[in-house]
Chains A and B, each alone.
Chain A
């Protein structure tokens, strides 16, 4: 058992093990490490370092996906500058250059004026005015603008959509900030923002449309619910059918690919979620169980019963929607273009394990108050109703 494991990992498609990024120590009560030699997960698929070092401006950069981009870009030798309000995680990256501005304020982008960058990565934009502000402040000084949009730009999912799927009507250019998430404004404003990106930066635009972004650092708990719940064990309400499709993308896979898109100056629009081979809810839940030593037992409750019992897809049953009607193919988006352009995926076990490890480092109060997933009492009630119903022979 002496072969150099690093060599092996680089040539295979296996879990890399312990998180190579700082700041997320493993805790004794979490699931066991998948291996013990600290090999960086990025070694899974080898992406040779670039020849040319870029100056990269990252808008945001301190939230969920941003820090992953910053670490990866620095690791690959790029020169990184952050632009944000200086309010979220201000202690992150003490050595990285920072420009401060509030993108909702009048002339909020003025700190960018006169600065030159090879690439701008715009992570946090929800309002088209932010794109406009950045574009006007940076006019003529940027070679490539990379905009993180969303798969929610599509108005419905009647088939496995590629990048030409039907879009929402664009939202209002001048919408008030407090309206950004009202109704379907999120998707509509991202459509308008995509348009504004092209207005501001012309041809030199890349638009990345991720699906559900998951992994360590996620404050929405939309994926984390499952690892946490499964680790707790016992009878678990599993939504729909084991074969219902699902899609998600690890924040690290997404972030690292975005940096590589910058390196290759790959332009165009990309749906960006995964994994590469079609996956389903059984695969997701059983795969997560495999990183724990939990006694979890799954009870699959069909979509009609969930609806009848006011269990909401996506928020209460995360990473799942009933595959029917306008959502029939919401979690079967065609991302072949992104895959061809180098988007790669960690194994699920790594995403699940790292999510659990990270979750256990959060303050107790945050851990107790999950932002997504069905409440424990409600889960129990629905399971009891379902199990009684089955005994009665209704199913």
Chain B
């Protein structure tokens, strides 16, 4: 059985880490874990997002959209630079130019969306990637996957074999602003008839932000380089196991009505966004939830129990202001769910 809380002892060697970003979703978890492990952290960002986080850490301000972005970091030395937030190739390129003499290693958080498709079961790190976006592409003129492919190329160009590239799948848990997993705990807690997508045995995959960030720090400590797929859990989890597992942390009266993938498509409900986490396991997405992450697992990626993720996500959600709680950014609106369930029943399918 996998131990879920692997790093409880302080690190052997204390590292000096420069974190670019660090105040969004994964950053705070990562920074906190690195601090807990005894590392010295410098945060570099605009000073705008969650500005009062980590009052005791050194903060250096800079705007990565400006040519002067990294001036404030000149002449400094770190062991490692972690880049959480870059989606634009120029950011990675410019950070590399400015910093590759200031640190011996660069950690780039990329994505599984760099793969051109997920048709195959068990895609490894050498799987075929999208054609890279142009070097000066931005979110305005290029897709997420191709942008990240180009970012990875820029990282390798600047850092060579000193780059560590993490490719997470869906990142979930406390602090998530996209609600792409949170929809389920929140919906299940509300109870009643819940539209469950596809068939109970459809596999799902995601990674708890805490597992991912703990691994990123562990990877720094262990001096990992190269590319790593990062999604879990370790063994196949079905969507029925996920939904019932989430239900187990509540006392909700939720009951699930499974609506077939074809009907979902017919009703133009989007997998993953309207019906979060789930992707019908067929066509280009046949291997969506079955990426091969054994390389990362062998290198120290561990996974919390689902109940822990579900509970922590619900706790976080309930701590948000009422207006935030009222508007989930993913999942079916209640009326839409009701309407779809009624149509499903009327169709006579089972």
A residues with CB within 8 A of B:
1-3, 5, 8, 12-15, 17, 28-29, 31-35, 44-45, 231, 233, 242, 275-278, 282-283, 286-295, 297, 344-349, 352-353
Contacts and interface: CB of A to CB of B under 8 A. Distances in A.
Given A292-B305, A293-B305, A286 B174 contact: no
B143 interface: no
B293 to A, nearest CB: 13
B312 interface: yes
B221 interface: no
Contact of A12 (B174, B304, B318): B318
B308 A32 contact: yes
Q: Which of B174, B255, B302 has the most CB of A within 10 A?
A: B255
A71 B271 CA distance: 49
Interface string B168-196: 00000011000000000000010100000
Contact of B315 (A5, A44, A283, A348): A5
Q: Which of B5, B245, B302 has the most CB of A within 10 A?
A: B245
B27 to A, nearest CB: 14
Contacts of B2: 293
Kindly list the 5 A-B residue pairs having the minimum CB-CB distance in the complex, ordered from nearest: A290-B245, A287-B248, A277-B253, A295-B235, A286-B244
B318 A35 contact: no
A286 B188 CA distance: 15
A353 B307 contact: yes
Given A1-B174, A44-B251, A297-B235, A290 B319 contact: no
A353 B311 CA distance: 13
B310 interface: yes
A289 B1 CA distance: 12
B248 A347 contact: yes
Interface residues of B, number: 43
5 contacts: A12-B189, A15-B311, A34-B308, A283-B247, A348-B247
Nearest to B320: A3
B101 interface: no
B54 interface: no
Contacts of A297: 235-236
Contacts of B200: 242, 282
B252 A13 contact: yes
A15 B4 CA distance: 19
A332 to B, nearest CB: 14
Given A34-B308, A242-B240, A1 B319 contact: yes
Given A33-B308, A277-B254, 9 more contacts: A3-B319, A8-B315, A17-B311, A35-B311, A286-B248, A293-B305, A345-B251, A347-B249, A353-B307
A290 B306 contact: yes
A292 B241 contact: no
Contacts of A345: 251
A352 B248 contact: yes
Contact of B244 (A2, A45, A290): A290
A252 B10 CA distance: 38
A291 B308 CA distance: 7
Interface in B228-253: 233-236, 240-241, 244-253
B314 interface: yes
A290 B318 contact: no
Q: Which of B4, B240, B248 has the most CB of A within 10 A?
A: B248
Nearest to A232: B1
Contacts of A291: 248, 305-307
Q: Which of A231, A278, A291, A293 has the most CB of B within 10 A?
A: A293
B91 interface: no
Contacts of A29: 1, 3
Nearest to B255: A277
Given A231-B1, A277-B253, A347-B249, A8 B318 contact: yes
B303 interface: yes
Nearest to A286: B244
Nearest to A346: B251
Contacts of B240: 242, 282, 286
Contact of A283 (B174, B233, B244, B314): B244
